[in-house]
Structure 1
Amino acid sequence: MAQRSVALSAARPSLGRIALNGAAGLALLYILLPLIFVTWLAFFRQEIPSFPPEGYSVKWFAAAANNQPFINGFLLSLQVGVAATLLGLLVGVPASLALVRHK
């Protein structure tokens, strides 16, 4: 039996793959751009943002850390998130196992 040699060449991505990756990149940028912008604005020194910024500061983060109602709300949100995650796992994992095993 004769052996064939298969030459492994660098596969060129197809036009469809390039378009799909480009669309995925644009979608990711569309989702993340507001988050990046708001994070950038959070470091502005002035109360009302203006461009170009007058300077950068972390005073808003210090103000949030010293604001007790904000801390209480943050901790409550964290507790609700953890409880929802645990409840979802406690219900979802057994349900998915039951669906897979009883088909």
Structure 2
Amino acid sequence: MDAGIIAALKAGYRDKHMELVTKRIDPEMPEMTPKNKTAFYVDQLQAMRWTVGVSAAMEAKTIANCFRKTGIIFPEESAMPAPPTRRERVKLSDLLI
């Protein structure tokens, strides 16, 4: 995988984690933190859900850049149509030659 994809995945995951921690340390919502756990605790299922959500929301341009660097698709911008918006579903086959 390309460093851009990994960096985007880590950044999105980190955002989700910090959002949860912020909610848990709110003194008005002490019930948010699981019993006998710290505010930073995340179970495996939640981590997997975040990873799926972040990867689904990843921009097509980030993924296309990964394939461009490997040489699987043409390096010039004109060979690729304009990237879809974040909300559009993109098939991997649409990004390949």
Interval of TM-score (by shorter of Structure 1 and Structure 2): under 0.3
Specify the structure having the higher radius of gyration (Cα): 1
Q: Please give the TM-score of this superposition, normalised by the length of structure 1.
A: 0.24
If asked which structure has higher relative contact order (CA below 8 Å, sep 6+), I would say 2
Q: Which has a greater percent of helix?
A: 1
Q: Which TM-score applies when normalising by structure 2?
A: 0.25
